Structure 1
Amino acid sequence: MLDQTEGQIFLSEKRELSIINNYRSFSSIKEVACGNLIKFDDDTLKGGADVKITASQNCKVVIIPIVGAIELTDATGKNILIDAGGAYIFSISKGETYTIKNIYAEEMVNFVQIHQTNNGLKTPPKEVSFDLDFARNTLLPVGNGVHIGKYEGRSEDTFQLYGTIKSVFGFVVEGAFEFQNRLLETRDALLITLNNANEKLQIEFEALSNNAIIIIIEVETKA
Structure 2
Amino acid sequence: MLVQTEAQIYLANQRGNSYSDGFRSFHTLNFGNYLAEGRASFGRLLAFNDEALAAGKRTVITSSKPVEIILLPITGGLELIDRYGESIFVSSGEAFRFLAFPESSFTVFNPYPKETINYLQIQLIPDLSSDAIDNHFDETPHVQFSLEGKNNLVPVFSGIGQKVSGFMGKYGGREEEEFKPSNPYAGIFTYIIQGAFEVQNRLLEKGDALSLTNVETLEFEALSEDGIILVMEVGHTL
Normalising by structure 2, what TM-score? 0.85
Tell whether the 8 Å contact from 2:184 to 2:216 is kept in structure 1 after alignment: no
User: What is the aligned partner in structure 2 of residue 9 from structure 1?
Assistant: 9
Match of 2:154 among 131, 140, 143: 140
Give the whole-Å Cα distance in 2 for the aligned partners of 1:177 and 1:3. 25
SS in 1 for 2:115: coil
Tell whether the 8 Å contact from 1:157 to 1:205 is kept in structure 2 after alignment: yes
Tell whether the 8 Å contact from 1:59 to 1:120 is kept in structure 2 after alignment: no
Q: Deviations over 1:158-178 (max 9, x none)?
A: 110133543111000000011
| Change over 3 Å in CA distance of 1:137–1:119 after alignment to 2 | same
Tell whether the 8 Å contact from 1:161 to 1:202 is kept in structure 2 after alignment: yes
Structure 1 stretches lacking a partner, 5+ long: 195-199
Q: Tell me how many residue pairs correspond in the alignment.
A: 216
Match of 1:113 among 90, 111, 121: 121
Give the whole-Å Cα distance in 2 for the aligned partners of 1:166 and 1:17. 28
User: What is the aligned partner in structure 2 of residue 197 from structure 1?
Assistant: none
Task: Kindly report structure 1 stretches of 4+ aligned residues shifted beyond 4 Å.
Answer: none
Give the whole-Å Cα distance in 2 for the aligned partners of 1:178 and 1:149. 14
SS in 1 for 2:177: strand
User: What is the aligned partner in structure 1 of residue 109 from structure 2?
Assistant: 101
Q: Which moved more, 1:140-149 or 1:42-51?
A: 140-149
SS in 2 for 1:13: helix
Structure 2 stretches lacking a partner, 5+ long: 159-164
Q: Which moved more, 1:164-173 or 1:179-188?
A: 164-173
User: What is the aligned partner in structure 2 of residue 22 from structure 1?
Assistant: 22
More strand by share: 1
Give the whole-Å Cα distance in 1 for the aligned partners of 2:175 and 2:4. 23
Shift of 1:131: 1.3
User: Identity of aligned pairs, percent?
Assistant: 36
More helix by share: 2
Give the whole-Å Cα distance in 1 for the aligned partners of 2:197 and 2:25. 23
Superposed, 1:12-161 pairs within 5 Å as 12-30=12-30, 31=35, 32-120=40-128, 122=133, 123-124=136-137, 126-133=141-148, 135-144=149-158, 145-161=165-181
SS in 2 for 1:209: coil
Letter paired with 2:70: V
Give the whole-Å Cα distance in 2 for the aligned partners of 1:111 and 1:57. 23
Letter paired with 1:98: F
Normalising by structure 1, what TM-score? 0.90
The answer on 1:168 being equivalent to 2:176 is no
